[in-house]
Every structure is written in C-alpha cells, then in structure tokens.
Amino acid sequence: MAEGAPGADRMLAREDGFTIIEVVVAAALVAVVLLAAFSSFEGSRRLIAKSERVETATHVGQQELERMIARSYATVATASPLPTRSTDPRNPRYWVNAAGTEYTWNPSGSGTSATFVPASGTLPACSNWSDTVSATRLTGEVCRFVTWYDDPSIAGTTDAKRVTVAVSINGNRDVPVTFTSIVWDRTA
C-alpha cells in the first residue's frame, strides 16, 4: 500500500474550526442578505396594496361616470348644495374655487375652470362609498362635478355638460382617481 504524503495524517487530525471573527463576519453577511430580501418583499407588498387601492377607486369612478352619463341630459346635474372647496390637495373638492361656483376639471394639464351647472339633479355632489366586494374593504368619497362645456366651433357658451367624477380613498395619501366625459343634449 502506498502511503500518503508525510504530514497528511497530521492535517486531517487537526480540529481547527472557525474563529469567532469568521463567525461574526458570516453572520453579518447573512443578516445583510436577509434585510435586503425583506426590504424587497416589503416594497413589493406596498406596491401591490397601492395597485389594489387604485384599481378599486377606478372601478368606483368608472361605474359612477357611466351612471351619470346614462341619465337624460336634463337630469345630468347634482343635487343642492354644490360642492364646497377643501384645503387638502388630496381631496377632490380642492379644485373647487373659493366662491364654490367653478371647478378646474384638469388641474394637472391645460384644463381651465368651468362654471357649475345649477344644482337641479338628484345625485349628491359628494357622497361616501365602500367596497364590500373585494378583500380590500376600502372606503372613501366620490365627488361629482357637472360643469358647462363650451365648444368653440358652436355659437353660445353652454353647448354641453362636462361630467367629472373624482374618487378618493380614506386614509390614502394619493391624489384622487378622476374621470371626465362630455354629455351632449341629444334632443336639441
């Protein structure tokens, strides 16, 4: 039989382990990796929760806009009183002027203020909503803003009505989800 290299038996017999420094460094590396993974999962959870909130508000807003534009032209208006101004930029009523007579229907773009259609309808300007269908169980406020629309190619200043629906979620720091559509008088 062949014998191994001299001293090989001594190396195999050694019982040296990891030093305390090596153990601490390894534990620190494992902790950093676990913290990074947890942070990634937490960020993903927050994004999913925000997506669910926006999706729910979108469904509420689309449903309300469809309900508003399905009405007869004469009844496309809110009930009295008209919405009042809010000082919170996350509230849909923030874009109502101080006098409560106009609404800026597109505050982030080129939209200008438009005069409210007189309150003669049956739907409240703003009302609470709650999601009882999905697992999110969100609540919030839906506001309906009906303003006059002036088509520059048609004589007159009240050619149609612009319906804007803004949905906010209670306890949410995001801006409201907003939808808008023009409703024309089909009988004229």
Q: Kindly state whether residue 123 falls inside one of the protein's structural domains.
A: yes
Mean pLDDT of 65-77: 91
Q: What does the alpha-carbon distance between residue 167 and residue 62 come to, in Å, rounded to a whole number? A: 10
Q: In one letter, which amino acid is 19?
A: T
The pLDDT value given to residue 188: 63
What is the arithmetic mean of pLDDT over 177-185? 90
Q: Quote the mean pLDDT of the chain.
A: 83
What pLDDT shows up at residue 63? 93
What are the structure tokens assigned to 99, written together? 């006098």
For residue 27, tell me if it sits in a domain.
no
Report the domain count for the chain.
1
- In this prediction, residue 144 carries a pLDDT of 92
- The band of 119, judged by pLDDT with boundaries at 50, 70 and 90, is confident
Contact assessment for residue 146 and residue 121, using Cβ atoms and an 8 Å cutoff: yes
124 neighbors 93 (Cβ within 8 angstroms): no
- 3-class DSSP state for residue 123? strand
pLDDT at residue 187 in the model: 78
Domain membership of residue 25 (yes or no) is no
CB atoms within 10 A of CB 60: 21
Residue 5's pLDDT is: 60
Q: What is the pLDDT of residues 120-165, one digit of tens each?
A: 888 899 999 887 666 667 888 899 999 998 888 888 778 899 999 9
Task: Judge whether 20 lies within some domain.
Answer: no
Structural domain includes residue 15: no
Question: Has residue 82 been placed in a domain?
Answer: yes
Please check whether residue 156 lies inside any domain of the structure: yes
Structural domain harbouring 42: 36-184
Tell me if 161 is assigned to some domain: yes
**What's residue 29's pLDDT?**
93
What secondary structure letter does DSSP report for 65?
Answer: H
Say if residue 3's pLDDT is above 60: no
